[in-house]
Structure 1
Amino acid sequence: MSADAAPLLAGSSAPPAQVHDVALLDLDGVVYVGPEAVPGVPEALHEARRVGMRLGFVTNNAARTPEQVAAHLSELGVPAEADDVITSSQAAATVVADLLGAGARVLPVGGPGVSAALDAAGLVVVGRAEDRPAAVVQGYGREVGWADLAEAVVAIRNGARHVATNADATIPSPRGPLPGNGAMVGVVADVTGQAPLVTGKPDPAMHAECLRRTDARRPLVVGDRLDTDIEGARRAGAASLLVLTGVTDAAVLLAAAPDRRPDLLAEDCTGLLRAHPSVVPDGPSWRCGTWTAHPGEGEDVLVLETGQGAPTGDDGLDGLRALCAAHWARHPADAAAPRIVAAGAPAEAALHRWGLPAAGPDRGRRA
């Protein structure tokens, strides 16, 4: 498997933890959701480390400092040091320091991680638009309110450069997706009429910094978002593993744009510890394990079916892999998710498990 291989087709004949020297892990929706670890993930990461994989943590969440992030990870059973963590606040601070020089005045909007990163980069943190900041750096913070956004608007209208740590519209939570930094950034941009400079993922700077720190030779980006983690991996020239514990579901994955299609797919980080089957063409069909997806009757209709039994190691996603390969082969550019016909009860149950609706019976024959 390589970053240049067609998405999902090559798979990985050995567990990724044995193939890749470093995993660059997103946090929200991958290692934890809200304050709690994703079930089984601390144990999976411990085992990945045991077999020789090193871990780096790359997060678009700008609210906390690397020290706070590392402490939280350690509390959840994933031992980490501050140097293992790259935040979007750090990336933004580096970009602003390069653009404006050390000592430039900057107004932070967000959690304490934003101010701490700016200070560490040699920038002067100010609290009001009247302090004439040269830039506003906006990152996620639970306490960000109207007054903070208003101060940012005034500063930007007075000539400050608007820099966003990320443009994630949502963040995962146990209650479902909640407004992320991108939602707040959009408010400021709408009022000022100025598009911000976005420095977090998918910009490759964050992954590049983690690669430099870890001296990775065969990195694997592990994330739950197509628009940041997977696209960011592609732009950084790294292989990617999408997990389904965060904001991306099967329907979103099927409709992924070409630069957002992952190399590997797993339910969660236990996917680091098992081999991933390849997806192979079989005439007009695509086959993964015992599962097959083939064109049905009508435009953008796919039929999903499976043979008897299941191969050893089947993680329950082989049918989804086959569907993705079949749909993406027909749509090398952007496309909506297909209509899927379930050929038999096992296929119907699989679609239900993945949250995909089943279309009506297909009367076509396999070509």
Structure 2
Amino acid sequence: MTGAYLKGSDRPLSQAYRLALLDLDGVVYRGKNPVEHAADSIAQAESSGMAMEYTTNNSSRFQSVVAEQLRGFGLNVEPWQVITSSVVAARMVAHHVPAGTKVLAAGAPHLREEVAKAGLTLVDSVEDGPEAVIQGWYPEITWNELAAVAYAAQRGARFFVTNRDLTIPRELGIAPGCGSLVNAVIEAVGRQPLGSAGKPESAMYDEARQLVADAQSAQGKAAEPVAKEQCLAIGDRLDTDIEAGNRGGYDSLVVLTGVADPRGIMLAEPILRPTYIAKDLRGLNEAHPAPAPLPEGGYACGRASAWIDGGELHVASQGDVEAPSALDALRAACCTMWQAADRGIDTGAIVLPDFDI
């Protein structure tokens, strides 16, 4: 991954890629509320020929419920376009155990339904002898459910989780996510889960591509999964959405409407670096200038430039655009910082400017 810096695109991303793998929380909505410009940008991208798949680590909501919420934002969405970590988790377990295997699922009704749909036998108690256990998340999850996961794993059940997001954006702020609860169970069990269905694993993106092909085949259309090179992973988290893209070989776009912020992107390790950066989903329908290295060091992007001098990152921009508020300045700054990190410089000691984007 060393040297993997931002790309550019002369065409809007919605024309350069065929399939968008969109995260939901912090990208399209925050809890019940839509993210600004998201719905209009998605509709515009679809009008350019880009297909949409909504991939979420949230394991608590039925696909039909999520699709209905998105339709409430004015989007045209079918349930099969929503890929939750419960869908992927149940299919993942089914790949590891024979059909009919007893599975204990600690999570929302959606997770339990997906376990049954995958041809597995759902049980309600550790005393039923489950051979696998899945830990999910939903707002009403209890200590007793978490304890049951730990007891089953301690007795030898194969331990799976729907996702490892430490936090989740909600209407009132950032709340503990499934990953925070998974870590508590790990402390009790003493070992890591056998698998995680959610991002940063790339299984969700792979599954989404396959489900698109399956849906088209069900409509009588011969279809193969869209090639990875024609897919764009989109999210607000470097440690899930973007890392999953890098692990799976997908290009990615990070938006600044959720968890990710300029400082975190500038200091990102190679596996967490996105292919593109945008303020919000309007960036999906825009061309992206390609950053270019400067002869004297640093990077330029559009009319902005960035360089390191005297232990400080400097940014400048021509014209009447102030560099700290310019997206191109952030792009140039990210490439400059990533290059410095790859050359062994302690970027954590560099003084960074504030970006108001």
Q: Same fold (TM over 0.5)?
A: yes
Task: Report the counterpart of residue 361 of structure 1 in structure 2.
Answer: none
How far 1:60 moved relative to its partner? 0.9
2:310 aligned with 1:297, yes or no? yes
8 Å contact from structure 2 (residues 330, 355) kept in 1: no
236, 239, 262: which is aligned to 2:274? 262
Consecutive unaligned residues in structure 1, runs of 5 or more = 343-350, 355-367
8 Å contact from structure 1 (residues 303, 340) kept in 2: no
SS at the partner of 1:221? strand
2:330 aligned with 1:320, yes or no? yes
8 Å contact from structure 1 (residues 251, 337) kept in 2: no
For residues 201 and 333 of structure 1, do their structure 2 counterparts lie closer, same or farther at Cα, with a shift above 3 Å needed?
farther
2:352 and 2:186 map into 1 onto residues whose CA distance is 43
Task: Report the counterpart of residue 138 of structure 2 in structure 1.
Answer: 141
TM-score by length of 1: 0.87
Task: Report the counterpart of residue 341 of structure 2 in structure 1.
Answer: 331
2:97 aligned with 1:100, yes or no? yes
- The code of the aligned residue for 1:208 comes to D
2:320 aligned with 1:306, yes or no? no
For residues 81 and 147 of structure 1, do their structure 2 counterparts lie closer, same or farther at Cα, with a shift above 3 Å needed?
same
- The code of the aligned residue for 2:314 comes to V
8 Å contact from structure 2 (residues 3, 339) kept in 1: no
2:352 and 2:73 map into 1 onto residues whose CA distance is 41
- The code of the aligned residue for 1:37 comes to P
195, 203, 214: which is aligned to 1:205? 203
SS at the partner of 1:172? strand
SS at the partner of 2:342? coil
Q: Alignment RMSD, CA only? A: 2.2
How far 1:308 moved relative to its partner? 2.0
Larger mean Cα displacement after TM superposition, 60-69 or 322-331: 60-69
Task: Report the counterpart of residue 279 of structure 1 in structure 2.
Answer: 291
Larger mean Cα displacement after TM superposition, 205-214 or 185-194: 205-214
How far 1:157 moved relative to its partner? 1.7
SS at the partner of 1:331? helix
How far 1:43 moved relative to its partner? 0.7
2:272 and 2:332 map into 1 onto residues whose CA distance is 17
Task: Report the counterpart of residue 356 of structure 2 in structure 1.
Answer: 353
2:110 and 2:31 map into 1 onto residues whose CA distance is 17
2:235 aligned with 1:223, yes or no? yes
8 Å contact from structure 1 (residues 65, 116) kept in 2: no
SS at the partner of 1:275? coil
2:242 and 2:294 map into 1 onto residues whose CA distance is 27
2:343 and 2:280 map into 1 onto residues whose CA distance is 27
2:76 and 2:109 map into 1 onto residues whose CA distance is 22
- The code of the aligned residue for 1:196 comes to P
For residues 28 and 204 of structure 1, do their structure 2 counterparts lie closer, same or farther at Cα, with a shift above 3 Å needed?
same
1:341 and 1:74 map into 2 onto residues whose CA distance is 41
How far 1:316 moved relative to its partner? 3.0
2:352 and 2:234 map into 1 onto residues whose CA distance is 31
Task: Report the counterpart of residue 85 of structure 1 in structure 2.
Answer: 82
Task: Report the counterpart of residue 221 of structure 2 in structure 1.
Answer: none
8 Å contact from structure 2 (residues 2, 270) kept in 1: no
Q: Percent identity?
A: 38
TM-score by length of 2: 0.90
- The code of the aligned residue for 2:332 comes to A
8 Å contact from structure 2 (residues 59, 84) kept in 1: yes
2:81 aligned with 1:71, yes or no? no
Consecutive unaligned residues in structure 2, runs of 5 or more = 213-224
Cα-to-partner distance string for 1:90-122 (whole Å, 9 max, x where unaligned): 111111111111111111111222111101101
- The code of the aligned residue for 2:187 comes to D
8 Å contact from structure 2 (residues 103, 122) kept in 1: yes
8 Å contact from structure 1 (residues 304, 341) kept in 2: no
SS at the partner of 1:151? helix
For residues 338 and 304 of structure 1, do their structure 2 counterparts lie closer, same or farther at Cα, with a shift above 3 Å needed?
farther
